[in-house]
A and B are shown apart, each in its own frame.
Chain A
Amino acid sequence: GESVGLHLPTLSVQEGDNSIINCAYSNSASDYFIWYKQESGKGPQFIIDIRSNMDKRQGQRVTVLLNKTVKHLSLQIAATQPGDSAVYFCAEWNTGNQYYFGTGTSLTVIP
């Protein structure tokens, strides 16, 4: 399953499928990005980060891709599990010395 952020704020995938969550950022000067996962009733939790001098970074079951040409970030989750159900936010760090959070995408995993 795949989302395009503002246009598809919710994403439903079958358990075991791969998920792709997309994020468009606004500031070409942003040089660091983080994906956060926020479960219901909890604060955002760090998942993975990427610097602007990279275009791909892999973690455990998660991969972040960065396309600076079109200012686009994506989070890929392999073999999605029910515990992955949450809202996912991308956040960009720029010269304002603070994070700007994207709109968020709500991921629902169907058992």
Chain B
Amino acid sequence: DTEVTQTPKHLVMGMTNKKSLKCEQHMGHRAMYWYKQKAKKPPELMFVYSYEKLSINESVPSRFSPECPNSSLLNLHLHALQPEDSALYLCASSQGGSRYGYTFGSGTRLTVV
């Protein structure tokens, strides 16, 4: 299995809702990442987990809460989001934080109404 699987593919949520994005990989990668991508912009790093521990938080607002239950799973819990948080949320994984390329999932298209 050489894929990163993200669910759901699309999500519409209200500003008072709580939802979660899920990411799964079975490549044995020990680093996992959340990126946010606005339309026609490059991906922006949000969080990095290395060996199931949060190693980088790029000053992301607390309404985004990451969780890494085990080495194959990564969640992003969402609460009280704003319309400007609407974006494509990408998950990626790599060999232990290796520079040698990330494998990206197809993303979750999030719309906050």
Contacts and interface: CB of A to CB of B under 8 A. Distances in A.
Interface of A: 9, 32, 34, 41-46, 49, 87, 89, 93, 97-99, 101-104, 106
14 contacts: A41-B106, A43-B90, A43-B92, A43-B105, A43-B107, A44-B43, A46-B101, A49-B101, A98-B45, A101-B43, A101-B44, A103-B41, A103-B42, A104-B40
A26 B48 CA distance: 22
SS of B interface (majority): loop
Interface in B39-65: 40-45, 48, 56
Nearest to B9: A41
Sorting the interface of chain B by its residue count into under 10, 10 to 19, 20 to 34 or 35 or more gives 20 to 34
Contact of A104 (B42, B90, B99, B104): B42
B90 A102 contact: no
Given A43-B92, A44-B104, A45-B104, A97 B42 contact: no
Contacts of B107: 42-43
